[in-house]
């Protein structure tokens, strides 16, 4: 909704006024020409190849302003697979492994509920749940926040086969992205902890970007919890990386394995420096 213009502070015409006025001019060959459109109200112009730097900036700025105006100061991030089924739908899972992983839907939902119940004590300004806004683990996170009567954030992205955001995201905190990189920055810019559940390429991308930022000192160390030790050890040989010397042995301490929501809450509370930091990265 456009903000009311205070003429004492800003004597210039509001941009919305000119958009409205420009749309009401007589229909002539000149006014129909693309060149006549206001630059900031011209989608064709904004989508030009040369305007990519502007689009990147807008995509960084819009969610930042929205979260700030809503009063969100810190978040708890949930990463995890879109294909993890609800427990009641595990029989329809495309693989037996996905069916076995369905209990992580319940753990994600419980974890989000527990953290949101605590967030209510500060008016849902701190430790607000944020997910990718889709199905599976993401839905479970937003649903758990709703179970607690709280708010939650969804950072969706336009994909070829992507569905609409899940029904549990707080509408005013549901953002949509074109750029993966900017979306991942928003996941971490306010993060006080990251909970990573089993998932696929997208989850691995998000996990390893977080690990890289922390390992290289580009981001403060925060609780980084991997739900499902058996899953993560099966797909990644963490010790082999340290044995090969491609990471330091100490890098294995950047994350902890957990199995239940209660385990995750306890580790967040006992993590070194708990309650004093959030994942500040340079773009912040």
Domain map (residue ranges) of the chain: 15-47, 59-270
Distance CA(26)–CA(30), nearest Å, equals 10
Q: What is the pLDDT of residues 210-243, one digit of tens each?
A: 999 999 999 999 999 999 999 999 999 999 999 9
Q: Mean pLDDT over all residues of the chain? A: 92
Residue that is written with structure tokens 């690990």 in the block: 211
Distance CA(195)–CA(138), nearest Å, equals 11
Reduced to 3 states, what is the DSSP secondary structure of residue 268?
helix
User: CA dist 73 to 108, 189, 212, 253, 280, Å?
Assistant: 22, 10, 24, 27, 12
Distance CA(35)–CA(272), nearest Å, equals 58
pLDDT, residue 91, reads 86
pLDDT, residue 2, reads 44
Q: What residue ranges in the chain does DSSP mark as E strands?
A: 75-79, 128-131, 152-157, 174-177, 191-196, 224-227, 256-258
pTM as predicted: 0.90
pLDDT, residue 117, reads 96
For the chain, the residue count is 284
pLDDT, residue 282, reads 43
Architecture of domain 59-270: 3-Layer(aba) Sandwich (3.40)
Low-confidence ranges of the chain (pLDDT < 70): 1-8, 162, 273-284
């Amino acid at each position: 909704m456009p903000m009311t213009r205070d003429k004492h502070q800003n004597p210039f015409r509001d941009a919305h006024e000119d958009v409205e006025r420009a749309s009401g001019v007589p229909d002539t060959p000149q006014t129909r020409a693309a060149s006549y459109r206001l630059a900031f109200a011209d989608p064709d112009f904004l989508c030009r190849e040369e305007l990519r730097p502007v689009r990147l900036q807008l995509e960084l700025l819009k969610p930042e302003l929205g979260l700030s105006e809503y009063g969100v100061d810190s978040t708890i991030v949930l990463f995890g697979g879109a294909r993890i089924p609800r427990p009641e739908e595990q029989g329809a899972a495309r693989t037996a492994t996905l069916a076995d992983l369905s209990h992580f839907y319940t753990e994600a939902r419980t974890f989000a509920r527990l953290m949101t119940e605590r967030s209510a004590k500060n008016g849902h300004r701190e430790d607000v749940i944020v997910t990718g806004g889709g199905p599976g683990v993401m839905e479970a996170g937003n649903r758990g926040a709703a179970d607690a009567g709280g708010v939650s954030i969804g950072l969706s992205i336009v994909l070829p086969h992507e569905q609409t955001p899940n029904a549990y995201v707080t509408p005013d905190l549901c953002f949509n992205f074109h750029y993966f990189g900017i979306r991942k920055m928003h996941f971490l810019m306010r993060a006080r902890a990251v909970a990573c559940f089993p998932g696929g390429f997208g989850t691995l991308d998000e996990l390893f970007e977080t690990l890289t930022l922390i390992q290289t000192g580009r981001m403060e160390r925060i609780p980084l919890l991997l739900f499902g030790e058996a899953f993560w050890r099966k797909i990644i040989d963490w010790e082999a990386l340290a044995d090969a010397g491609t990471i330091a042995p100490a890098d294995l301490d950047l994350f902890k394995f957990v199995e239940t929501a209660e385990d995750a809450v306890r580790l967040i509370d006992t993590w070194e420096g708990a309650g004093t930091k959030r994942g500040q990265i340079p773009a912040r």
